[in-house]
Amino acid sequence: MTYFNNAVRTKRELLIRLIQLLDSNQLFEHIDRIPLDMRPKTKAPIRCCVHKDRAVIKYKLMAAMGFNISDEEDELTPLRDYALKAIEGIDSNGEFLTVVDEACSSCVQVNYTVSNLCQGCEGRPCQVNCPKDAITVINGKANIDHHKCVNCGLCQKACPFHAIAYLPVPCEESCPVKAIRKDEYGIEKIDFDKCIHCGKCMTSCPFGAIAEKSQILHFYNTLKLKKQKMVALVAPAVLSQYKASSSQILEAIKSIGFDKVVEVAEGAEVTTQEETKELMENINQQKPFMTTSCCPAYVSLAEKHLPKLKEHISHTPTPMYFTAKQAKETYPDHATVFIGPCLAKRQEAYISGLVDFVITTEELGSIWTALQIDPTSFTDSEIVNQQLKPQNRGFAASGGVHQSILLNLNKDAQIRTHIINGLNKKSIKLLKAYTKKEPNFDFIEVMACEGGCISGPGNIATHGFSQNNLQKVMDELAPEPAMK
């Protein structure tokens, strides 16, 4: 779940500074001063020294411009050179995360450590129960030989004083598919053959060492110079993030320079219709259970880790797909820009070829801050499609797809449904079990983020705020008349 801390503050400040410099035509002249301005010698360093702090800022800027940290060939290459390449666009190669190695250096190498609570007791259950003889008692206190320790945790369970602490590596703990591990230098590496781009490692890292590779410079340069007309495809979750009406938010998005603004909720209506039809066909043909296909991180999970689950995933494309397809047909000379909370949407856009740019809610907020745009200052307009159903926006929350399908079914239909709210080790184990023994469900909704898209890694608001606000923007739309 997205949360706010100083590392997040730094990330957003970098995005704001980049947009401000690009907007004022000073990017190439001043970008190399950003690390110096943000970490001056007059302030106490966050890490060992100001030089380390500046190096971290430099590499976070590279990620914000769309580069892998490994793309650096010469440490003396100025940021200006990277910015020149970034505004023209960089091929992501389908990998949308990078590890800032300069920032990834403080997490523990092992998980178990002895605290000062150790009483050096005669029983020494920690030492007796250790299967690798990794524990010795020195000067009345237990010590763990980390060269022998295999992180089994038996010593912690055996200690009657709770003196042995488990120290997690946050990114590794949060990854549901074990796609991130330390290399021989103690730096985390992402295995993209396993990674599903859920973004959990990025939001859990307290050092901000895992960064998404942004398109923000290429996008904003194209928009600012009017190189191409653009249509914004706005995910419902975006509308839940601000203290403004949906109409005000859409107007504020258009004010950046977009020619057209379309809600992805329009595509959600098509997804609902098609997925309902597919579900009923499955049931009539007595096929096994069917799961949703809206979450690209979940689909990636099935493709990479649970191949037997693939046959149970709906073949219906996502709302983003349908909205982008319609936008390409209606506005063939426009570039399509998806704005949403999801890191995995970058991968979906890359694969589909229908979306030219993906901007997160966090990046949108940074652009507004840089340009001094306040969504609440706009007046309501006719930009909202009043033909939308409230449940189309409801796709953004866990249970929203499920609810939309149920509302679309014949009232006499008897459908057994289930919701998996967030991908973690427990829920993945459950999904794996479903491939071996079919569950007593016809339809299963699966969301990678707990709470749904309103809790996505690219959002800026808390889950509680987003949940309440999403209901408000759903209530703005006229409900369907009740069935007689």
Among 280, 286, 282, 290, smallest CA distance to 311 is for 290
Among 118, 148, 117, 147, smallest CA distance to 132 is for 148
pLDDT: which is higher, 185 or 231: 231
Q: How far apart are CA 397 and CA 452, in angstroms?
A: 4
CA angle 370, 197, 456 (to 5 degrees): 55
pLDDT in tens, 426-439: 999 999 999 999 89
DSSP for residue 318: P
Enumerate domains of the chain plus CATH numbers.
Answer: 6-104+182-218 (no CATH), 112-166 (3.30.70.20), 228-475 (3.40.50)
* Whole-number pLDDT of residue 472: 94
The mean per-residue pLDDT over the stretch 124-150 comes to 94
pLDDT in tens, 310-323: 999 999 999 999 99
Question: Helices 361-371 and 6-23, interaxial angle, to 10°?
Answer: 50
The contacts found for 120-129 with CB under 8 angstroms, 24 or more apart, are 121/160, 121/161, 123/160, 125/158, 125/159, 125/160, 126/155, 126/156, 126/158, 126/159, 126/164, 127/155, 128/158, 129/154, 129/155, 129/157, 129/158
pLDDT in tens, 148-161: 999 899 999 999 99
Show Cβ contacts of residue 100 under 8 Å, excluding neighbours closer than 6 positions.
56, 59, 60, 63, 69, 208, 209, 210, 211
* Whole-number pLDDT of residue 3: 64
pLDDT: which is higher, 167 or 364: 364
The winner for highest mean pLDDT among 89-93, 137-141, 252-256 is: 252-256
* Whole-number pLDDT of residue 1: 47
The mean per-residue pLDDT over the stretch 191-213 comes to 96
Among 161, 126, 26, smallest CA distance to 83 is for 26
pLDDT higher than 80, residue 204:
yes
